[in-house]
Structure 1
Amino acid sequence: MPQGRLSIALIALPFMLAACGGDAPGEDGQGTTAEDAELAEAMANAMLDLQGTGIVIPAQSGFEELAVPFGSARAPTEATLGNVVGRAIDESAEPDDCGLTFTRYEGLNLTFRDGQFVGYYAESPYVPETTRGEMLADANISMVEESTLGEEFVIGAGEGPDIAGLFSGEGDDATVRALWAGENCIAR
């Protein structure tokens, strides 16, 4: 996959988190406090910036910006992102054929090598609701010729980390199905 410098507009694309999938405060049958309700509202409206170098949680709802760059240790990465995207639904401790372990959340998979965060793979609700036609209008987005994965594209201009992705089809109205960056075990 070619390495590319991400256009600033696309690096900072905020991806709305809908239906976080984690337990909301008070789901244990007890009443919620005003603080619990405020935290639940903040999580429901949280945003992520998926980048070629990791994931950033922008400053929002009174919380400071948090960066989770590739190379971060696994436990703090899981704790930081878990506070926004909810509880993990699956994880591995044993490396796969690519030497990676993972932690999976609803719509987001984090990959680790030797205890370090090295990649992500995101699907709905963490991908933009942008059409293929709108995405390809940006000069920093190009299709991958003869991809065995389907309608694969790359966001980047050739000098740095990039984000790859798949469209749901060939037409201009096709949507973004997935985005990934860093190390992932994707069979080609």
Structure 2
Amino acid sequence: MFEDYCHRSNLKCISQEQVNWGGGPHLIDCFSVFTPKYSVWARDNVMIENIEFGKETDLIKRLSSIYSIQSNRCMNTSVPQSYLDLIATEHDFFKNVQDPFSRVQDPSLLYQLSIQALEKYDSPYIRASALCVITHRIINNPKIVDLKGDFDVITCADQIGLQLDNDETFSGIRWLVSLNMAVAFFLCRNKKRHHISNNCIKEKCCAV
């Protein structure tokens, strides 16, 4: 995005920094400084290198090369650990819907925000992203989730899957939701929780 902007505007970027405008616990924006491409830098201009921003940029570049722009881009299973990163970084997945999770640094806070998003947002795309975050957290540390509590992974996956079921544009997200349903079903089955409200969802879990 920055390279394209610079090329069209005959500029060069001399610094980039992740920033937080609101004083909250996570970084929410990128502050960039541009200068005319062929200008002579003033002596007091200093190049700022943000290592974390560079890592994020590299991740986006790698994912764009791994996943094509076709609707089946998520079917590539050679990098299964990247599916959460893909949802957080690939902007066309959400079109113009902002992903509220991509800048959160604290894993515990990320998990809590995801649960809140399932209750707060109507958009199935944001809810699908939240579900992926939650399931990813369960996979990495099952002890943090009490499956006997009010929060039911299966019910959320059921609802989101049905919301996305007729939207061919987002078949990739539907595949991710199905994957999450399968994982959640496996976890709940081990906890003696067999109930899934929709037979179609059961079939998707079995297929995955």
Of the two, which has the highest radius of gyration? Answer: 2
TM-score (norm: length of structure 2): 0.27
Larger proportion of helix:
2
TM-score (norm: length of structure 1): 0.29
